[in-house]
Each structure stands twice: as structure tokens, then as C-alpha cells.
Homo-oligomer: A and B are copies of this chain.
Amino acid sequence: MRDHIIKELKDHDRVSGEQLARKLNISRTAVWKHVKELRRMGYVIESHPRYGYALLKSTDLLVPEEVNFKLNTRVIGSHILHLSEVASTQNIADKMASEGAAEGTCVIAEKQTSGRGRMGRNWASPFKDGVYISVILRPNLKPVHIIQIPLVAGVALVRAIRKTTDLSPGIKWPNDILIEGRKVAGILTEVNCDIDTVHYIVLGMGINVNTRQTALPEEVKDIATSLSQECGREVNRVGFLKQLLSELESVYDEFVTDGFQSIGKQWMQYNNTIGSLVTVNDGQSILEGKAVGIDDDGFLLVQTADGQTQRVISADVSLR
């Protein structure tokens, strides 16, 4: 019902409570209760005893009514579940995917209480500061190639940041998005597959959009940043998210249609890893060397001191 009220308010400068009540076939008291709830959600709605209601300002919450408004995607974002607070958007999206949710379905939360990063790490997700989203993908992909998905997402993220700010982030292999060496966004690729086929992927992205340094946990304060901190102004989350969904669809379409090669080239253009000295920790051993490229599959190639080139399948890479 609330989305109908918002639509009416967006379509008209002013609508009276009586008009709304008649149109939506509810009582004027019900209209008033919905308006109160919309205000609570962040919509600024003026009410005038004579001229009725007017929408002065939309909410800055990532509600479907806002995100879908003039969104230019075909698949990504075609279904959106918006939650004020959740343990992890990944868990919800995984459950939906296992029950058959369509490709492009998004779960978006204003806050995560147990936001996950890679390797069981935490992803700080303070209320309304960042964008925390899980997207269900169903690519026709061999499990040995799942490393390509975070590279695809990384390219989309960099493009979205470049188009909505004047920032030029770099990608640390495989998918950390860095500005001046500090992490501004992370990608978590969770996969359900058998040995032949990927059934579905839940692509999680956490972006520090307007996150204040003070809202970050002590242990990441020195290594994390946000878009607003870097560009010195508040960034519109709805606008950024719409740009991200649009870029993701574009890059993902290209990946599905033409394969990884052209995405790999774009990734190379944005990356900050190739040419650097790196340390790779796979949990059992440590490899040091120079990152010299990625192979056709998307894996990092590291040249060690003895001149040999090794293919890195562990994603825990630090730049030295």
C-alpha cells in the first residue's frame, strides 16, 4: 500500500487525503497512518489542511520503490528484498536461491549485524552508512572458473565508483577495491555447485559509501576508508546503488556472452597488483614474488626469486 501512496505523491504535486483514500480504497485514517510510517522511513511529506499531502523529499533508504525508479537493468535488481536489519544478506539470498529465486534477485540491508567478509572475516555494516547487497547469479560456469565472478564484480564496482564520484580506485587481486591503499569495498562470492556445474552464486558486495571512520571497528580503522571520506562529500547511496546494478548487468552480460577475456582486460586496466611484490598465504605455506599477470582463467601469476611462475589459487594476497 505504501508504494502506491509514494507513486501517487511522485505523480502529483499535491494529493488530498480524501483523494488518496478514494483511489486506494482505504480510510483517511489509514492514509494518515501510512504517511506517518513513510515519514518514519525518511520520506519528507508535507501535509496541509487545505491542499493535502506533498512529497518534499524522498527517503535515502535503499527501498525497492527508490532503487527501481528509472533503473535501466533487465535482470539485475528485477526482484529486490529490502531489510532494515539482518544478520547477513548472504544467508537470506542463499536460502532464496536454494528455493529457486531468479537470477538478478537482490537482497539489500541498511544494516548487517553479522556481515561476512572473505575467510570468515567480519564486514562492518553500520546502519545507513554503506551499501550491503547480495545478488543471485546463475551463470553457466565450471566450478574451476568461479574465480572469474569476483573479478567481474570488481570491474563493475570500480566503474560505478568512477561514474558517481571523481575517485579512481584500484583492484587488489582478486577483488579488494582500494583507494590510496585503503579498502573501500569488498566482494564475497559464495557458490553452490557440483563438480561439473555451478548451480547458483550469491555475490555479496559491501561498499563503505558514507561510512565515518568512527563507525568502523578499531582493527580496520587504519586500512579501511569510505567514498565520502575520499571525495570529501556525502555520496547519494540510492544513486550509487543504481549505478552499481547497471554496471554489474553490463559487465556480467559481456562475461556471459563473450567469456572472461574482455573482462580480464578491463580488470587489468583497473588493477593495482600486477607489477607489485606480493605475499600469498594459502593457510599452509607462504609464497613471495612478483605478480606478473593473470592467466586466462583469472588466477594470479606470481614469479618467484628462482624465475619460476606459479599460478596462485589462494585469494589471500598482500602487496609488499
Assembly CA distance A136 to B188 (angstroms): 23
The answer to whether A286 has its CB under 8 Å from any CB of chain B is no
Chain B residues whose CB sits within 8 angstroms of the CB of A192 once the complex forms: 190-192
Q: Are A150 and B188 in contact (CB under 8 A)?
A: no
**Of A40-48, A302-310, A312-320, which binds chain B?**
A312-320
The contact string, 1 if C-beta is below 8 Å from chain B, for chain A 165-190, is: 00000000010000000000000111
**With A143-B191, A144-B144 given, is the CB distance from A196 to B150 under 8 Å?**
no
Across the interface, which residues of B come within 8 angstroms of A150, CB to CB?
A: 195
How many copies of this chain sit in the oligomeric assembly? 2
**Additional A-B contacts beyond A142-B313, A189-B194, A193-B193 (8; CB < 8 A):** A118-B196, A190-B192, A190-B193, A190-B194, A191-B192, A191-B194, A192-B192, A196-B316
Task: List 26 A-B residue pairs with CB atoms under 8 Å apart, sorted by A's residue number.
Answer: A118-B195, A118-B196, A119-B196, A119-B197, A140-B283, A142-B282, A142-B314, A143-B143, A143-B146, A144-B144, A144-B313, A146-B195, A147-B195, A149-B195, A150-B195, A174-B195, A188-B194, A189-B194, A190-B192, A190-B194, A191-B191, A191-B192, A191-B195, A192-B192, A196-B314, A196-B316
